[in-house]
Structure 1
Amino acid sequence: MDRWMWIDSTKLAVLTYCTYEYCSNKIKNIYELVLIVLIYICLNTITHLVKKINLKRVVVVLCIINVIAAVKILSPMFIILIALNILELNFYFKYSIFTSILELILIFIFITPWIKVQFVIFTFFNCVIYMLSNNYSVKVNTIIKENDEMREKIYNLSSKLDKNYEYERQIKYTSKLEERNKIAQEIHDRLGHTIAGSLIQLEASKLFLYKDVKKSEEIINKVTEILRNSNEGIRASLKNIKPPSEQMGINKIKITLDEFSVNSNIKTNLVCTGMMDKITNMQWMVIHDNLKEALTNILKYSKATQVNVKIDVLSKLIRVEIKDNGVGAESIKKSLGIIGMEERCGKLRGQVIVDGTKGFSVIIILPIEE
């Protein structure tokens, strides 16, 4: 409920009280009462319908005139309606509320003695209701404004994230196209010309096959040498294009940790020491699968805020530790996840060690393959 609903509710209550007091007297002028009450209600309704501030001021002044007419025609009791209308003028003319209080004091001086007590009581409560509703309305408007600003900031951030995501997606797609174009060009330059030339020479060797066997043999040997050299060149090109296994493995681990950190709001840290090129593709697959399983368990049970992953390549073995700072576990029951880790490592002659003290850690030991 906003400020104006509070004020209108108070006006209606006061108007009802005044009407009841007037009707309880023996002398009644019911037609004038109905007319003045309807005019007062209509004027207060029009105040909310008009948009221009000057028109609102005029309507409030007419409400005050209507109250004065009710006092003159019906009963001095209706003077207590004037308090909220004067407070409304304070709002629309933007002068101090103390000015409104002075005006109410002047009215108090000139009203009849028998109505002064009720006038003071109703005016006091009207002022209190007006100030409370005004403060409430200001706070609500402030909160609405802050919410709008926050909504706009969220929208802008979402737009930026969408743009960054689209930009990142476009970069990845462009990189793939460039890589495909590079591979296609390599194949065309190295393989296409070689095969085309070799086919021409083989066709020529067919012509000399029954006429000049020696010449035909020379051509075939030459084509064989060209194809052998071309094959070695293709292998060298593919070797240059194919990224090292350690780059693929470390990058895959980093992506998994970054995705986990974004989705769970748990910080992650990766440290690698030693010669990473000694880790084979199969070992990288086992490390990655076990890492995903460990992160799933951390998210479910640990209540951790940070996960540290350390990969050490020693002289004879590879040691991978996945440790969190969560609640840990006093007794460890091997679930399907831990059993799956052990089975994957067992296939590569490795082992898994779990520890639930000071957080929870999973240590993967794998032998270095010669």
Structure 2
Amino acid sequence: MNKALNRESEPWMMGGKAAVLLYVISETYFGTETPGRSWLLLAYLIYLALNIAIPCIPYLPARLLLSGFSAAASAMAALRLDPLFALLIPFNLLELAAASRRPVLGAVVLTAVPVFLLPAGPRPLVLLTGALALLLEQGLRSLSFRLMRLEEREDRLKRDLERVTRSLHENREHLRQSEYTFKLEERNRLSQQIHDELGHAMAGALIQMEAARSLLQSNPAKSGELLGNAIAISREGLEQIRLTLRSNKPQPEEIGIHRLRLLLEELSFNQDISATLSHSGDLEMVTSLQWNVIAQNTTEAVTNALKYSGASSLHLEIQVLNRFVKAVVTDNGRGAGTIAKGLGIRGMEERAARCGGTVIADGSRGFRVTTLLPIGQDAVL
């Protein structure tokens, strides 16, 4: 982890070194008439070469060795050429301290070393530079550590998301297979029930009719009796078929409300929107045709909300009143003072009109689409 943190802070440390080096050059080369400028140039070049090579070397021991050479060269230049070269030492010492088990303590101790190697004059400036370099290095380490933690958390969240997504797909596939299996089982159950209840009845009626046909000439009375039995058996079988189909056929309100609930659940799953449903009243009063109109108008209202309103939540409320059934789709998106009736709203009005109802669209606070359909004798079918 220390190696990764050092890599993150290298550009900033190089910038700090460059700034201090420019200050040293301006003061030692241009600021005073110092003899032996060629030695100054040599010192600058040695420092540049060593510190440019440090981030280019991947091996940590070699990098630490170069940092040590650079600190030693800066100390030699401070003793032989100009004390201001000591300003360059803290950055290399911080690089050495970063490899220790206690980087903060090592950095403080090593940063204070150059102060005792100098005369009293430049000591405050060197101490200030060392303190600023230490603060820069520790701040960069802290930020780099936080960045690494955030990256690790992001990777962990990505893995969790992939796992949840994969599990969701598997569950959906399992649900699809379960639904298909349920349909097969239901078809098998109906087939077996019809065979058990109707097959035997039809077989008995067929036997009775065959016997009646054979006795038609020799014993008309018995033939008529057998034929009557066959007719009664057939009538009972047909009644049994009707009762079986009626008991297995779902009620219109069950189909209608579950169809709407499925529509909103798919909307919440596939879109970034919260969709809810509520209902009140006797849903058995709503006919199949009215459920179809409500479902189609709800689908159209949802489509308009996704395209134009930018809503984050949507609610469908169905109320069965004394004379009307009211379906209201509301969202929290951008409303409109005036609503232009396009093909979608006209289509909703036409569907409602075929049932004797009407559609009211309001955009004062979000979009609100209300479908009113008459109940009972008021319905025009």
- Please give the range of the TM-score, normalised by the shorter of the 2 chains: 0.7 to 0.9
| TM score, norm. by length of structure 2 | 0.74
1:303–1:61 Cα change, 3 Å: closer
Which amino acid counterpart does residue 68 of structure 2 have in structure 1? I
Q: Between Structure 1 and Structure 2, how many residues are aligned?
A: 359
Q: 1:259 to 1:106 in 2, by over 3 A?
A: closer
Q: Which moved more, 1:341-350 or 1:150-159?
A: 150-159
2:300 aligned to which of 293, 302, 308: 293
User: Per-residue deviation at 1:240?
Assistant: 0.3
What is the aligned partner in structure 1 of residue 104 from structure 2? 97
Q: Counterparts of 1:91 and 1:361 in 2: how far apart (Å)? A: 66
Question: Which residue of 2 is the match for residue 237 of structure 1?
Answer: 244
Query: Could you tell me which residue of structure 1 aligns to residue 37 of structure 2?
Result: 25
Give the drift of 1:126. Answer: 3.7
Aligned partner of 1:311 in structure 2 is 319
1:45 to partner: Cα distance:
4.7
SS in 1 for 2:99: helix
Please point out which of 142, 159, 167 is paired with 1:135.
Answer: 142
- What SS does structure 2 have at the residue aligned with 1:94? coil
Structure 1 residues 204 and 5, CA, compared in 2 at 3 Å: closer, same or farther? farther
What corresponds to 2:253 in structure 1?
246
Match of 1:53 in 2: none
Using the TM superposition, give the Cα deviation of residue 232 of structure 1 relative to its aligned residue in structure 2, in angstroms.
0.6
1:219 aligns with 2:231: no
Over aligned residue pairs, what C-alpha RMSD do you find? 4.2
Structure 2 distance, partners of 1:113, 1:260, is 76
Residues 117 and 270 of structure 1: CA distance in aligned 2, closer, same or farther (over 3 Å): closer
**Distance of aligned partners of 1:354 and 1:70 in 2 relative to their CA distance in 1, 3 Å threshold:** closer
TM-score normalised according to structure 1 size: 0.76
Q: What is the CA-CA distance between 1:189 and the residue it aligns to?
A: 0.9
Tell me which amino acid in the other structure corresponds to 2:13: I
CA distance in 1, matches of 2:72, 2:360: 92
Partner of 2:160: 153
Shift of 1:238: 0.5
1:365 counterpart residue number:
373
Partner Cα separation in structure 2 for residue 37 and residue 175 of structure 1: 77
User: What pairs up with 1:61-80 in 2 under 5 angstroms?
Assistant: 63-64=67-68, 67-68=71-72
Corresponding residue SS for 1:334: coil
Letter in 2 for 1:248: I
Q: Distance in 2 between matches of 1:352 and 1:297?
A: 15
Q: Against the structure 1 CA distance between its residues 195 and 12, is the aligned structure 2 distance closer, same or farther, given a 3 Å change threshold?
A: farther
Quick check: 318-327 or 74-83, which moved more? 74-83
Partner of residue 276, structure 2: 268
Tell me the amino acid that sits aligned with residue 113 of structure 2.
Answer: L
2:358 is the counterpart of 1:322: no
* Larger CA deviation: 2-11 vs 234-243: 2-11
In 2: Cα distance, 1:29 partner to 1:347 partner = 96
> Is residue 75–residue 86 contact of structure 2 (8 Å, CA) maintained in 1?
yes
Question: CA 1:322 to 1:102, structure 2 compared with 1: closer, same or farther past 3 Å?
Answer: same
Counterparts of 1:70 and 1:295, CA distance in 2: 73
Q: Does 1:185 align with 2:188?
A: no
Alpha-carbon distance between aligned partners in 2 of 1:246 and 1:34, rounded to the nearest angstrom:
88
Which ranges of structure 1 fall in alignment gaps of 5 or more residues? 51-55
Matched, 1:4 2:10: yes
Deviates more, 1:327-336 or 1:221-230: 327-336
Say if 2:64 is the partner of 1:60.
yes
Give CA-to-partner distance per residue, 1:215-264, whole Å, 9 cap, x none. 44443332222121111101100000001112111222222233344435
How far does residue 203 in structure 1 lie from its aligned partner after superposition? 4.4
Of all paired residues, the percent bearing the same amino acid is 27
8 Å CA contact 1:294, 1:362 repeated in 2: no
Q: 1:26 to 1:295 in 2, by over 3 A?
A: closer
Structure 1 pair 362–27 and aligned structure 2 pair: CA distance change class (3 A): closer
Secondary structure, counterpart of 1:297 in structure 2: helix
Does the 8 A contact of 2:316 with 2:330 survive in 1? Answer: yes
Question: Which deviations, in whole Å up to 9, do the C-alpha atoms of 1:336-364 show, x marking residues without a partner?
Answer: 22222222222223333444555534241
Q: What is the alpha-carbon distance in structure 2 between the residues aligned to residue 329 and residue 41 of structure 1?
A: 63
1:340 matched to 2:347? The reply is yes
Question: Does residue 1:49 correspond to 2:59, yes or no?
Answer: yes
Post-superposition CA distance 1:145-181 (Å, at most 9, x none)? 2322332332343244334434433443333233222
- Which 5+ residue runs of structure 2 have no aligned equivalent? 1-6, 30-35
